[in-house]
Chains A and B, each alone.
Chain A
Amino acid sequence: MASPFPRLLPSLPFSPSSPPPRIFPGKPLPRLRAAVSAALQWNRKPQLAGETPRVVVVTSGKGGVGKTTTTANVGLSLARFGFSVVAVDADAGLRNLDLLLGLENRVNYTAVEVLNGDCRLDQALIRDRRCPSLELLCISKPRSKLPLGFGAKALTWVVDALRSRPSGAPHFVLIDCPAGIDAGFITAIAPANEALLVTTPDITALRDADRVTGLLECDGIRDIKMVVNRVRTDLIRGEDMMSVIDVQEMLGLALLGVIPEDSEVIKSTNRGYPLVLNKPPTVAGLAFEQAAWRLVEQDTMTAVMVEEEPKKKGFFSFFGG
């Protein structure tokens, strides 16, 4: 499935013993250029594993751990790799994914209107201008009455419609799940085959994540991967926060990515410019990109131990203490 090591250098198309082809300054030979780019492996893209479309639900149980941020950034990273992604904000009452992507002004039609027959599906999909492979679908408008009619069947219908649309099925469908484990959660996990569990290393989030894991497995979703968000390595070193190894041990899930705590997340949310598009890339942005890479190749990572801080010795420390 996944190749943890980079591909070995492919053999060059021409043998070294033959005379090197003459390269004109303005027109390099296409064969040589292809060979060089294959040898140097620049602009490498991940290889898609699993059947398309891959329907992934991003859930967590506890609110505020970073589900919507993860959906936005991972979705955008996937789109930048070249895959076609549809991000669905399955929170029917309060929606935030459009804010994070900076597309809140362009939401005219939502899935409720598609179900009612007021518009077509492709009219409800909002394409991002910065990255054309990413499309956003919201469930309902915030000012309308709470759409009590939007249930699991409706969302499954929407995902099937996306799968069988004339412009081709998307490679990825990321569903941003609402917080909690009530009707909204049940709706969001209905069409999904895989789950991405976002959690933070604190005790409340881990307990809720464990409960959600149980519910997901009951529902039939066995492929659950974990993303640990808001990790502060300084606190882990000082033994004030549980390390990622502890988290993995407690929950027993495969680890997809570890995102460090970064103030850039707040800044990028305020601007409506997702984190992964920052140049130069930030720490959290790189982590999101790596997590997206692993999601594509269905790979997992293993956590490493953070080195303990050497105990600072004061002047009188030899007196004991």
Chain B
Amino acid sequence: MMPISGDVSMFFGALPSHPNHRPVMPTFLCSKARLDHFRSGASDLKVAPNLLQMKLPDMNSTNWSHVCFGTGENKLTPTVNQDAEVFLLNVVNMSFFDRLSLTWRMLFPTKVRNNSNAKTAKQRLKMMLFSDRCDISDEAKQKIINNIIEALSEFVEIDSLDKVQLNVSTDTDLGTLYSVTIPVRRVRPEYQDSEEDYIGNISNIEYKDTGERSGNIDVKFDFFLPSDQSKRVKWVSDK
């Protein structure tokens, strides 16, 4: 079936558009497959999960043109093995011709479609339009900075007023971004997170044994207690 040996694992890098998948493996780009490592007679078949991304003849999940593969170390996790088994079950049930075409497509993948001119032009135009449209005067910039400093001084103590900056930049997804960088020394006392809120908080839970198989549960977690040095108590006295 598939000429993969037990030592070398082939894994595919593909865009994870399958809804059940987490992108476990990083994507690797390579032009040719190195098939000279393979030996026949696969005993322990380890196939990467992203093989499920391949467009099987009866499954129409992913864009086939983005699949490419490479060879590497055998670093598969337990979930990968489960997915590989599912994939193999599917493959075994396919007809001979389907498996043949699958093999063919694995060995000779269609190359990734290069960026079209239209898309490049659209990107460039977007960048230019955003930068053209956002021409703000220096006076307005200064006013924005002053307003923001005034608004923020109520909550925090600002480190040095000279270092506050306003930057206009463009981002492909969001468009024009105005970012104001303000160095902060500390939060004002009345707005600081009171430790009393955290009393009794449980965090960092680690399950060593969930008890499904053995019947015992082994858990480690953190329990918050306020330290004496940083204790803050609010005195409310009735007069």
A interface residues (Cβ-Cβ under 8 A, vs B): 202-203, 206-207, 210-211, 214, 236, 239-243, 246, 250, 317-321
Contact partner of A246 (CB less than 8 A), chosen from B110, B122, B129, is B122
Q: How many residues of B contact A (CB 8 A)?
A: 18
A207, B132: Cβ atoms closer than 8 Å = yes
Q: How far is the CA of A242 from the CA of B126 in the complex (A)?
A: 12
Closest-by-CB residue of A relative to B129 is A210
Give A319 to B108 CA distance when docked, in angstroms: 5
Contact B132 A210 (CB under 8 A): yes
Binary CB contact string for chain B from 81 to 119 against chain A (1 if under 8 A, 0 otherwise): 000000000000000000000001000111100001111
Q: List 7 A-B contacts (CB under 8 A).
A: A202-B121, A203-B121, A203-B128, A239-B118, A240-B116, A317-B110, A318-B108
> A239: which B residues are within 8 A, CB to CB?
116-119
Question: Given known contacts A239-B119, A250-B126, what 13 new A-B pairs fall within 8 Å (CB)?
Answer: A207-B128, A207-B129, A210-B132, A239-B118, A240-B117, A241-B117, A242-B118, A243-B118, A317-B110, A320-B108, A320-B109, A321-B110, A321-B111
**Does B213 sit within 8 A of A, measured CB to CB?**
no
Find chain B residues with CB under 8 A from A206 CB: 125, 129
With beta carbons under 8 angstroms apart, the residue of A211, A241, A243, A320 that contacts B132 is: A211
A321 to B118, CA, bound (A): 21
Residues of the B chain whose Cβ atoms lie less than 8 Å from the Cβ of A243: 118
Q: Are B110 and A250 in contact (CB under 8 A)?
A: no
Q: Is B185 an interface residue (CB 8 A)?
A: no
Secondary structure of the A contact surface, majority rule:
helix
B133 CB-CB contact with A under 8 Å: yes
Q: Which residues of B contact A240 (CB under 8 A)?
A: 116-118
A246 vs B122: C-alpha distance in the bound complex, in angstroms?
A: 8
A273 to B116, CA, bound (A): 39
Give the complex CA separation of A318 and B116 in angstroms: 22
Task: Determine the residue in chain A with the shortest Cβ distance to B101.
Answer: A318
B124 at the interface (CB under 8 A from A): yes
A291 CB to nearest B CB, Å? 24
- Whether B129 pairs with A250 at a CB distance below 8 angstroms is yes
B118 cross-chain contacts in A, Cβ below 8 A: 236, 239-243, 246
- In whole Å, how far is A303's beta carbon from the nearest beta carbon of chain B? 14
B119 → A minimal CB distance (Å): 7
- List chain B residues, Cβ under 8 A from A321: 110-111
A153 to B116, CA, bound (A): 48
> Which residue of chain B is the closest to A313 with respect to CB atoms?
B110
What separation, in Å, do the CA atoms of A240 and B121 have in the docked complex? 9
Q: B120-156 vs A: 1/0 string, CB under 8 Å? A: 0110111011001100000000000000000000000
